[in-house]
Amino acid sequence: MLSYETLLDRPRDFLAATSLKPEEFLQLLPAFKAADEQRYPRALTQAGKPRQRRPGGGATGALPRFADKLLFILVYQKTNPLQTMHALQFAMSQSQANYWIHHLLPVLQQALADLGMRPERDARRVAGHQLTGEGTPDLAIDGTERRRQRPVDPVKQQEHYSGKKQTHTDKHLLLVNAQTGKVVYLGPTLPGKTHDKKAADAAQIAYPVNGTLDKDTGFQGYEPEGALTRQPQKSPRART
Protein backbone atom coordinates (compact mmCIF):
# COMPACT_ATOMS: atom_id res chain seq x y z
CA MET A 1 0.00 0.00 0.00
CA LEU A 2 1.30 3.45 -0.90
CA SER A 3 1.55 6.01 1.85
CA TYR A 4 3.55 9.12 2.65
CA GLU A 5 5.59 7.22 5.24
CA THR A 6 6.53 4.40 2.86
CA LEU A 7 7.86 6.81 0.21
CA LEU A 8 9.45 9.43 2.46
CA ASP A 9 12.82 7.66 2.64
CA ARG A 10 12.83 6.80 -1.08
CA PRO A 11 13.33 10.18 -2.81
CA ARG A 12 13.72 8.75 -6.31
CA ASP A 13 10.49 6.77 -6.02
CA PHE A 14 8.81 9.81 -4.43
CA LEU A 15 9.76 11.95 -7.43
CA ALA A 16 8.68 9.27 -9.93
CA ALA A 17 5.29 8.85 -8.23
CA THR A 18 4.40 12.51 -7.63
CA SER A 19 6.69 14.68 -9.83
CA LEU A 20 7.77 16.42 -6.60
CA LYS A 21 10.79 16.08 -4.34
CA PRO A 22 9.95 15.45 -0.66
CA GLU A 23 10.90 19.04 0.25
CA GLU A 24 8.65 20.40 -2.53
CA PHE A 25 5.83 18.19 -1.27
CA LEU A 26 6.21 19.70 2.21
CA GLN A 27 6.04 23.21 0.75
CA LEU A 28 2.74 22.37 -0.94
CA LEU A 29 1.21 20.53 2.04
CA PRO A 30 0.22 23.58 4.21
CA ALA A 31 -1.56 25.26 1.27
CA PHE A 32 -3.30 21.97 0.45
CA LYS A 33 -4.50 21.61 4.05
CA ALA A 34 -5.73 25.22 4.15
CA ALA A 35 -7.60 24.80 0.85
CA ASP A 36 -9.23 21.59 2.10
CA GLU A 37 -10.36 23.21 5.34
CA GLN A 38 -11.75 26.17 3.43
CA ARG A 39 -13.64 24.04 0.91
CA TYR A 40 -14.84 21.42 3.43
CA PRO A 41 -15.28 23.13 6.85
CA ARG A 42 -14.87 20.67 9.73
CA ALA A 43 -18.00 22.00 11.45
CA LEU A 44 -20.16 20.88 8.51
CA THR A 45 -21.00 17.49 7.02
CA GLN A 46 -20.44 16.69 3.35
CA ALA A 47 -24.07 17.73 2.79
CA GLY A 48 -23.29 21.17 4.28
CA LYS A 49 -25.25 20.62 7.49
CA PRO A 50 -23.92 21.22 11.05
CA ARG A 51 -22.22 18.17 12.55
CA GLN A 52 -23.97 16.38 15.39
CA ARG A 53 -20.67 15.11 16.84
CA ARG A 54 -17.17 16.46 16.98
CA PRO A 55 -15.00 16.26 13.83
CA GLY A 56 -12.94 13.08 13.68
CA GLY A 57 -15.52 10.92 15.38
CA GLY A 58 -16.58 7.64 13.83
CA ALA A 59 -14.61 5.27 11.62
CA THR A 60 -11.16 6.26 10.36
CA GLY A 61 -11.19 7.06 6.65
CA ALA A 62 -9.05 5.46 3.97
CA LEU A 63 -6.85 8.60 3.88
CA PRO A 64 -6.75 9.84 7.50
CA ARG A 65 -3.84 12.31 7.14
CA PHE A 66 -3.46 15.29 4.84
CA ALA A 67 -0.06 14.03 3.66
CA ASP A 68 -1.68 10.82 2.41
CA LYS A 69 -4.51 12.77 0.76
CA LEU A 70 -2.03 14.94 -1.10
CA LEU A 71 0.03 11.91 -2.09
CA PHE A 72 -3.12 10.15 -3.36
CA ILE A 73 -4.15 12.96 -5.70
CA LEU A 74 -0.61 13.73 -6.88
CA VAL A 75 0.01 10.09 -7.82
CA TYR A 76 -3.29 10.04 -9.71
CA GLN A 77 -2.38 13.22 -11.60
CA LYS A 78 1.13 12.00 -12.39
CA THR A 79 0.40 8.43 -13.49
CA ASN A 80 -3.20 8.74 -14.83
CA PRO A 81 -4.17 5.14 -13.90
CA LEU A 82 -7.55 3.47 -14.11
CA GLN A 83 -9.48 4.10 -10.91
CA THR A 84 -9.43 0.39 -10.11
CA MET A 85 -5.64 0.27 -10.29
CA HIS A 86 -5.29 3.48 -8.27
CA ALA A 87 -7.60 2.02 -5.62
CA LEU A 88 -5.43 -1.10 -5.35
CA GLN A 89 -2.34 1.02 -4.67
CA PHE A 90 -4.06 2.70 -1.72
CA ALA A 91 -5.95 -0.35 -0.38
CA MET A 92 -9.45 0.92 -1.09
CA SER A 93 -12.36 0.12 -3.38
CA GLN A 94 -12.89 1.66 -6.80
CA SER A 95 -15.90 3.59 -5.50
CA GLN A 96 -13.78 5.06 -2.69
CA ALA A 97 -11.08 6.05 -5.17
CA ASN A 98 -13.70 7.76 -7.32
CA TYR A 99 -14.98 9.70 -4.31
CA TRP A 100 -11.52 10.85 -3.19
CA ILE A 101 -10.45 11.88 -6.71
CA HIS A 102 -13.47 14.16 -7.10
CA HIS A 103 -13.13 15.35 -3.49
CA LEU A 104 -9.42 16.22 -3.61
CA LEU A 105 -8.82 17.44 -7.17
CA PRO A 106 -10.44 20.88 -6.63
CA VAL A 107 -8.51 21.19 -3.35
CA LEU A 108 -5.20 20.61 -5.16
CA GLN A 109 -6.15 23.13 -7.86
CA GLN A 110 -7.00 25.73 -5.23
CA ALA A 111 -3.75 25.11 -3.33
CA LEU A 112 -1.70 25.58 -6.50
CA ALA A 113 -3.62 28.76 -7.32
CA ASP A 114 -3.04 30.13 -3.80
CA LEU A 115 0.70 29.52 -4.20
CA GLY A 116 0.77 31.11 -7.66
CA MET A 117 1.74 27.76 -9.18
CA ARG A 118 -1.33 27.03 -11.28
CA PRO A 119 -0.58 27.13 -15.04
CA GLU A 120 -2.39 29.67 -17.18
CA ARG A 121 -5.21 28.18 -19.28
CA ASP A 122 -5.96 31.30 -21.33
CA ALA A 123 -3.31 31.58 -24.08
CA ARG A 124 -3.95 35.33 -24.44
CA ARG A 125 -2.68 35.99 -20.90
CA VAL A 126 0.57 33.99 -21.01
CA ALA A 127 2.82 37.04 -21.57
CA GLY A 128 1.72 38.69 -18.32
CA HIS A 129 1.48 35.57 -16.17
CA GLN A 130 3.48 35.46 -12.94
CA LEU A 131 5.20 32.17 -13.87
CA THR A 132 6.30 33.61 -17.23
CA GLY A 133 8.05 36.53 -15.57
CA GLU A 134 10.20 34.50 -13.17
CA GLY A 135 13.80 34.92 -14.30
CA THR A 136 14.45 35.81 -17.94
CA PRO A 137 11.65 35.19 -20.50
CA ASP A 138 13.13 31.88 -21.67
CA LEU A 139 10.36 29.43 -22.59
CA ALA A 140 10.06 25.98 -24.16
CA ILE A 141 7.02 24.51 -25.92
CA ASP A 142 6.11 20.87 -26.49
CA GLY A 143 3.14 18.59 -26.98
CA THR A 144 2.42 15.82 -24.49
CA GLU A 145 0.12 12.83 -24.88
CA ARG A 146 -1.68 10.65 -22.37
CA ARG A 147 -3.45 7.39 -23.05
CA ARG A 148 -7.22 7.23 -23.04
CA GLN A 149 -9.84 4.54 -23.57
CA ARG A 150 -10.43 3.55 -27.18
CA PRO A 151 -13.50 5.52 -28.38
CA VAL A 152 -16.48 3.51 -29.60
CA ASP A 153 -17.27 5.93 -32.42
CA PRO A 154 -15.14 5.11 -35.52
CA VAL A 155 -14.57 8.78 -36.36
CA LYS A 156 -13.32 9.55 -32.84
CA GLN A 157 -11.15 6.42 -32.96
CA GLN A 158 -9.33 7.83 -35.96
CA GLU A 159 -9.02 11.30 -34.42
CA HIS A 160 -7.51 10.02 -31.17
CA TYR A 161 -5.24 7.37 -32.68
CA SER A 162 -1.63 8.42 -32.28
CA GLY A 163 0.61 6.72 -34.79
CA LYS A 164 3.63 7.74 -32.73
CA LYS A 165 2.49 5.86 -29.63
CA GLN A 166 0.41 3.21 -31.42
CA THR A 167 -2.54 3.84 -29.10
CA HIS A 168 -5.42 6.25 -28.54
CA THR A 169 -4.43 9.43 -26.74
CA ASP A 170 -5.39 12.95 -25.74
CA LYS A 171 -2.90 15.74 -26.35
CA HIS A 172 -2.02 18.98 -24.54
CA LEU A 173 0.37 21.78 -25.37
CA LEU A 174 2.75 22.69 -22.55
CA LEU A 175 4.75 25.89 -22.21
CA VAL A 176 7.53 25.69 -19.62
CA ASN A 177 9.72 28.37 -18.08
CA ALA A 178 13.19 27.05 -18.95
CA GLN A 179 14.77 28.93 -16.02
CA THR A 180 12.50 27.58 -13.27
CA GLY A 181 11.18 24.37 -14.85
CA LYS A 182 7.61 25.42 -14.00
CA VAL A 183 4.68 24.89 -16.38
CA VAL A 184 3.48 28.32 -17.50
CA TYR A 185 0.65 27.31 -19.84
CA LEU A 186 -1.47 24.18 -20.20
CA GLY A 187 -3.50 24.00 -23.40
CA PRO A 188 -6.96 22.48 -23.89
CA THR A 189 -7.47 18.74 -24.42
CA LEU A 190 -7.07 17.82 -28.09
CA PRO A 191 -7.31 14.54 -30.04
CA GLY A 192 -3.99 12.70 -30.07
CA LYS A 193 -3.73 12.87 -33.86
CA THR A 194 -3.52 16.70 -33.79
CA HIS A 195 -0.15 17.95 -35.04
CA ASP A 196 1.88 20.03 -32.59
CA LYS A 197 2.29 23.03 -34.90
CA LYS A 198 -1.41 23.02 -35.82
CA ALA A 199 -2.32 23.04 -32.12
CA ALA A 200 0.12 25.91 -31.43
CA ASP A 201 -1.22 27.97 -34.34
CA ALA A 202 -4.80 27.49 -33.13
CA ALA A 203 -3.91 28.40 -29.53
CA GLN A 204 -2.63 31.89 -30.50
CA ILE A 205 -0.37 32.11 -27.43
CA ALA A 206 0.71 35.64 -26.45
CA TYR A 207 4.47 35.58 -25.78
CA PRO A 208 6.54 38.20 -23.93
CA VAL A 209 8.33 40.57 -26.32
CA ASN A 210 11.88 39.44 -27.19
CA GLY A 211 11.50 36.27 -25.14
CA THR A 212 13.16 33.09 -26.41
CA LEU A 213 11.18 29.97 -27.31
CA ASP A 214 12.75 26.52 -27.60
CA LYS A 215 10.90 24.09 -29.87
CA ASP A 216 11.49 20.73 -31.53
CA THR A 217 10.86 19.57 -35.11
CA GLY A 218 7.15 19.08 -34.36
CA PHE A 219 6.89 22.88 -34.44
CA GLN A 220 8.82 23.35 -37.70
CA GLY A 221 7.67 26.66 -39.21
CA TYR A 222 6.06 27.92 -36.00
CA GLU A 223 7.28 31.50 -35.66
CA PRO A 224 4.98 33.40 -33.26
CA GLU A 225 5.11 37.18 -33.21
CA GLY A 226 7.47 38.69 -30.64
CA ALA A 227 9.30 35.45 -29.76
CA LEU A 228 12.82 34.46 -30.80
CA THR A 229 12.57 30.76 -31.62
CA ARG A 230 15.35 28.20 -31.30
CA GLN A 231 15.22 24.73 -32.82
CA PRO A 232 17.99 22.14 -32.48
CA GLN A 233 19.64 21.10 -35.74
CA LYS A 234 21.17 17.74 -36.55
CA SER A 235 24.89 17.78 -37.13
CA PRO A 236 26.20 16.80 -40.59
CA ARG A 237 27.71 13.66 -39.05
CA ALA A 238 24.31 12.61 -37.66
CA ARG A 239 22.68 13.03 -41.08
CA THR A 240 25.16 10.60 -42.62
CA–CA separation, 146 vs 160, rounded Å? 11
CB atoms within 10 A of CB 235: 8
Going by C-alpha positions, the residue among 227, 222, 215, 214 that lies closest to residue 197 is 222
How many domains is the chain partitioned into structurally?
Answer: 2
- Among 92, 114, 136, the domain-final residue is 114
- Residue 238 belongs to a domain: no
DSSP, residue by residue, 84-95: HHHHHHTT--HH
How are beta strands 167-177 and 183-186 bridged, if at all? antiparallel
pLDDT tens digits, one per residue of 159-208: 898 877 678 999 999 999 998 888 999 999 999 999 999 999 999 999 99
How many residues does this entry show for the chain? 240
Q: Are 142 and 216 in contact (CB under 8 A)?
A: yes
* C-alpha pair distances (Å), 145 with each of 16, 39, 163, 166: 18, 31, 12, 12
What pLDDT shows up at residue 56? 57
Mean local confidence (pLDDT), 106-129? 93
CB 19: neighbour CB atoms within 10 A?
A: 14
Three-state DSSP class for 186?
strand
238 burial (CB, 10 Å; 0-12 / 13-18 / 19+) is: exposed
Whether 206 is covered by a domain: the verdict is: yes
Are both 197 and 128 inside the same structural domain?
yes
What amino acid occupies position 109? Q
Given a cut of 60, whether residue 240 has pLDDT beyond it is no
Question: Does residue 178 sit in the same domain as residue 89?
Answer: no
- Whether residues 202 and 139 share a domain: the answer is yes
pTM for the whole thing?
A: 0.76
* Structural domain of 96: 4-50+63-114
99 & 143 share domain: no
How far is it, in rounded angstroms, from Cα 223 to Cα 228?
8
Indicate whether 128 and 228 sit together in one domain.
yes
What are the two backbone dihedrals, phi and then psi, of residue 190, each rounded to the nearest 5 degrees? -125, 155
92 domain-assigned: yes
Judge whether 58 lies within some domain: no
Q: What is the DSSP letter of 50?
A: B
Q: Over the stretch 8-57, which tens digit does the pLDDT of each residue have?
A: 899 999 999 999 999 999 999 999 999 999 998 877 666 667 766 665 55
One domain for residues 39 and 75: yes
Cα distances (angstroms) measured from residue 43 to each of 66, 70, 112: 17, 22, 25
Spatial CA neighbour of 126 closest among 139, 135, 113: 139
Task: Report if residue 56 sits inside a domain.
Answer: no
Weakest mean pLDDT among 31-35, 50-54, 67-71, 141-145: 50-54
